[in-house]
Amino acid sequence: MKKRILQNGRLLPALETALAEEYDLHPLWREPEPAAYLRQHGASFDGLVTSAPVGADAALLQALPNLKIISSFGVGFDKLDLDMARERKIRVGYTPNVLNDCVADLAFGMMIDIARGIAAADRFVRRGDWLNAKFPIATRISGKRLGIVGLGRIGQAIARRAGGFDMEIAYTNLQPVEGFSYRHEPSLAGLAAWADFLVVSVAGGAQTRHLISRDVLAALGQKGFLINVSRGTVVDEEALVDALVGKTIAGAALDVFANEPHVPARLLECDNVLVLPHIASGTAETRAAMADLVLSNLRAHFSGKELVTPLV
């Protein structure tokens, strides 16, 4: 008998197909009344597949009393109730490492764009403005100061790329990270005040909520740029919009927002911001590697082995 797996939210089509071949997969997102469905069928599920932006909250886990494994597509775990998973001894797999390079690549692309105005220059040409004017002078990146908020696996991949741009690198982290010569700066406001570019690559969740506060943005200052590839919740979005409107920072490049897919209307009116629809890991190669890990973690669980990339 195939194991019963509940699917929370849409996944990559190829992954949905592969899951449906191997398991008795039930897409919860297709249910018109998910709560009623779960009341009736919740106890029949052995596993749950989800993704980082969708996760699995306490209410969902409570509705699945026989759940033993969660396999999540993504590295973020801010939407997974890990406390409850630990308490109930539910194993949790996720997809770290395979996306580091693509997220770091995009962070760099975003940094270059917001400093040099690539997307804005493209709009300038398309509007026909080049026929009458010169595109405004931009800001140099090479040799500048890069502040990294969170020197985890993705932060380290960003730092490696910055070496190629001869940037000076400093970082904040809960603890100084061993094995790197980059300068550890204990104070986030201190890092922001020093940096020309402040890149956020810290994990999301309650502990990092609004870490990039009004004060940190004030410290970043009129010549500083903010780049966020982590979670929208890490930034006080209202303070950021105020800083962009008031031009108290130079600009921001954002791949993540507090209430995705909704982007604050005031933000969209600013010309000193790049807004992207959460695409950092979104390449065919990386998404395929993430899908493989989602499957490998499920297979490992159901064959009684250790998960390949366990979170819990």
Question: Which residues does the annotation mark as catalytic?
Answer: 231, 260, 278
Per DSSP, helices labelled H in the chain are 13-22, 34-41, 58-62, 82-87, 100-116, 118-126, 153-163, 188-194, 214-220, 237-245, 265-268, 284-302
281 near ligand 8YV, judged by CB under 6 A? yes
76 near ligand 8YV, judged by CB under 6 A? yes
* DSSP letter (8 states) at residue 28: G
Using CA atoms, how far apart are residues 258 and 236, in angstroms rounded to an integer?
9
Q: Measured from the CB of residue 281, what is the shortest distance to ligand 8YV in angstroms? A: 3
Residue with tokens 């959460």: 278
Size of the site for ligand 8YV (CB under 6 A): 10
Q: Residue 138 CB: number of other CB atoms within 10 A?
A: 14
Contacting ligand 8YV within 81-110 (CB under 6 A): 99
Give the relative orientation of helices 100-116 and 118-126 as an angle to the nearest 10 degrees: 60
Binding segment (CB under 6 A) for ligand 8YV, from list 50-58, 166-174, 180-188, 257-265: 50-58
Q: Residue 6 or 229: which CB sits closer to ligand 8YV? A: 229
243 near ligand 8YV, judged by CB under 6 A? no
278 near ligand 8YV, judged by CB under 6 A? yes
- The CA R_g of the chain, rounded to the nearest whole Å, is 21
Residue showing the smallest CB distance to ligand 8YV in the complex: 74
Q: Measured from the CB of residue 278, what is the shortest distance to ligand 8YV in angstroms? A: 5
276 near ligand 8YV, judged by CB under 6 A? no
Q: Residue 74 or 147: which CB sits closer to ligand 8YV? A: 74
Residue with tokens 């194991």: 3
Member of 38, 63, 64, 75 binding ligand 8YV (CB under 6 A): 75
Member of 19, 28, 48, 52 binding ligand 8YV (CB under 6 A): 52
Please enumerate, as own/partner, the contacts of 19-27 that have beta carbons within 8 Å and a separation of 24 or more: 19/49, 19/294, 19/295, 19/298, 22/295, 22/298, 22/299, 23/47, 23/298, 25/49
Q: Residue 170 or 293: which CB sits closer to ligand 8YV? A: 293
- 51 class by beta-carbon count within 10 Å (0-12 exposed, 13-18 middle, 19+ buried): buried
Q: Residue 176 or 205: which CB sits closer to ligand 8YV? A: 205
Residues that bind ligand 8YV (CB under 6 A): 51-53, 73-76, 99, 278, 281
